[in-house]
Chains A and B, each alone.
Chain A
Amino acid sequence: MSRDRTPLVLAAACGCLLAATPVAPQWLVFLLTLALTKGLVVLGLLLLMRAGLVSFGQGLYFGLGAYAAALLGARGGVLDGLVMIVAAIVAAAAIAAAIGLLLARYREIFFAMLSLAFSMILYGLLVKSSTLGSTDGFNLHARSFAGFALADGVGGRVFYVAAVIAVLAAGLAVHRYLGSHYGRLATAIRDNELRVEYLGASVFRVVYANYVAAGALGGLGGALAALAVGHVDPETTYWTTSGEFVFIAVLGGTGNVAAPFLAAGVFEAVRTLANQYAPNVWQMTLGIVMLLLILFLPAGLWSLVTRRRAGV
């Protein structure tokens, strides 16, 4: 049995990221923060994909987290970043707990489409709501974090550090979960739900738990992203945003909890380049890369796709 190196690697990587905080240029800090926050959402997707489910609606929780944080600031008079983040996680988890009761009964295409539908319901509500800024959204500012006042220009790095810590915590927790009996049970469910039920275990409970966890992670990512960007808009919950998360999940594969973050990093880097030099073919590039991945690098798609291993 090989030693489990993942926790060490995760800790080391996060350590490096933290060490870079005072010296990295502003644009890099921003890019990394975005990558880490998106990676958190994709980590949630990974949980679901291990059980064989692909959600096309994680944008719902990403948007919920973002708007919860922003509304707390704009309407609730709360200006502390940490409080916003906690509220976002709670809000997202609560909605996931409600929607999950329905959604956890579905599989395959229906699960994908229903999850998409719910994210579009939120999108529709946000877009038609002039009080929430409609398609323009609105800004949010955090004046403090965990009680410590944020000086001008420092906010970005503080959120970056918060993101790194969140990633370390979430990564370790999910890794531990996946290595436990319940993680194995998720893969068993993906392979043969009927057998799991016949062994006396409840498939629904495991899927539901994974769904709520994915929702919470989405909310966490959304809040952190909103703080970093300083703005929220309905685009966060549009189906194409959810599609981006799925793309990153496919890119990274579901083999390891670090995969979503690596893939998100690559994605953000390429996107920044594309926006600079070739904005009109960005979607085409995404599509072509996705096709190439599906055709030639199913290892990236391994846990999602193959219900049978081709060989040992």
Chain B
Amino acid sequence: MNPILVASGVYRSFGAVVAAADLNVSVAPESVVGLIGANGAGKTTFINMVTGYLKPSSGSIRCDGAELTALKPRRVTQLGVSRSFQIPQLFNTLSVRENLLVAVGIVAAAAHAWAHSELRPAHVGPATDEMLERFGLAAYRDRPAGLLPEGVRKLLDVAMALVVRPRVLLLDEPTSGVSADEKFTIMDLVMGAARGVTVLFVEHDMDIVGRYARRVLAFADGRIIADGEPAAVLADAEVRRYVIGEAHA
């Protein structure tokens, strides 16, 4: 099967800091990949480059054959790649429902252009309510997004990313800032809603990584130092040293 996301020779520097050095990644469709690494290792930079917030200094990124490199986030989304954010990017003065209404409305307005959805303007309301239910957000529907608990903000952030019917979904620390018991609830909801979508998620909690990821990429200093099944990667000596932070084995 052809890989759905391919990064080849991606390099990115900020002055003297190398955030990505010769990254080569090939992701199979519908796989679930965990991205781990210490802070500053280049995980978010990778997501930023895939989704167009940053331009790689060199190298290429393709989704299902289509060139993503240096496209703006808007075009990248239209090509089927979506993301959530480390700090949830919401419309803070709008209610939870209105946030989703905006997202669903955008997809409905773009119905055949790129969204490939059957959404008509009349269905925007019901589709939004359905989304609220699916993500367990119904209780907060009229609360302004700026006044939500962190876990709910994260959920809303991911929900909006899924509204655009992506084929590839990148999640940047979907459970950070959330209490330990809530983490699994959130991941269950998210992974349930994202069935059939290729998911890459950045995570610091190794329990979560072990539970949900089928494959793990370990980042350190802009490089991928390990790539494989969770158990193998998490046991890798380099990974233990640079990512998990254990002293010399």
Contacts and interface: CB of A to CB of B under 8 A. Distances in A.
A and B touch in the complex (CB under 8 A): yes
Interface of A: 181, 184-185, 187-188, 190-192, 194-202, 306-309, 311-312
Q: Which of A195, A197, A306, A307 has the most CB of B within 10 A?
A: A195
A181 B106 CA distance: 8
Given A181-B105, A184-B101, A191-B92, A198 B147 contact: no
B13 interface: no
Contacts of B74: 197-198, 200-202
A196 B51 CA distance: 14
Contacts of B91: 187-188, 191-192, 195
B106 A198 contact: no
A194 to B, nearest CB: 6
B146 A184 contact: no
A191 B160 CA distance: 15
A3 to B, nearest CB: 17
B146 A199 contact: no
A198 B51 contact: yes
Contact of B146 (A197, A200, A308): A308
Nearest to B89: A195
Contacts of A188: 91, 94, 102
B78 interface: yes
Contacts of B73: 194, 197-198
Interface stretch (B4-12, B26-34, B107-115, B191-199): B107-115
Given A200-B110, A200-B164, A308-B93, A184 B143 contact: no
Contacts of A200: 74, 77-78, 106-107, 110, 114-115, 164
Contacts of A309: 92-93, 144, 146-147
17 contacts: A187-B93, A191-B90, A194-B89, A195-B89, A195-B160, A196-B106, A197-B72, A197-B74, A198-B74, A200-B106, A200-B114, A201-B74, A201-B110, A306-B93, A309-B92, A309-B147, A312-B147
Contacts of B106: 181, 185, 196, 199-201
Given A200-B106, A200-B107, A308-B146, 16 more contacts: A181-B105, A181-B124, A185-B102, A188-B94, A191-B90, A192-B90, A198-B77, A199-B103, A200-B78, A201-B109, A307-B93, A308-B92, A308-B93, A309-B146, A311-B147, A312-B143
